Amino acid sequence: MPELNTASLPDLIFTVLFFFLIVTHLRQDQMKVKYETPQGTNLEKLTRKSNTSYIYVGKPINNQGETTGEEPVIQLNDKIATVDDIASFISNERKHSSAEDLEKMIVDIKADKDVKMGMIVDIKQALRKRNALKIRYSAKEKGKD
């Protein structure tokens, strides 16, 4: 019985590996704010994260993870920003999305439990001006840490 020729098998494996590396979204934001999400009930797990943009709100931190101020700030991607920067952030996120993802675009606000509601309302108003109306709030389930 003749042996099976496996000479091209490594090429095939590396091609498949390369394909998955290209199509997989591995980007994670470098945190510049410290936040502890509030607890809640009736929580839903986010299923598609590819069309989700994140807004982080919390106390600013340095590279060692130590807080550097008491006033909460907004982080968009890897930058500290203001409420006025949200419009350009949403426009930029829409530019990098496909046509079908634009309809399903969600903005997830990950805010510290001690952030004043006034700041959240300001963020929501800025999102409303850019017609980003699908908003989710991150929380952890009561009793889980």
113, pLDDT greater than 80: yes
Q: What is the mean pLDDT of residues 57-76?
A: 90
User: So what's the pLDDT on residue 92?
Assistant: 92
pLDDT classification of 7: cutoffs 50, 70, 90: confident
pLDDT classification of 25: cutoffs 50, 70, 90: low
What's the mean pLDDT when you consider all of the chain?
A: 88
3-state secondary structure of 9: helix
Does the global pTM surpass 0.85? no
Q: What's the rounded Cα separation, in Å, for the pair 36 and 141?
A: 12
CB 49 within 8 A of CB 26: no
User: So what's the pLDDT on residue 64?
Assistant: 80
CB 109 within 8 A of CB 137: yes
Q: Which one is predicted more confidently, 96 or 47?
A: 96
User: So what's the pLDDT on residue 99?
Assistant: 81
CA angle, 106 as apex, 131 and 143 as ends, to 5°? 130
51, pLDDT greater than 90: no
26, pLDDT greater than 80: no
104, pLDDT greater than 90: no
49, pLDDT greater than 90: no
24, pLDDT greater than 80: no
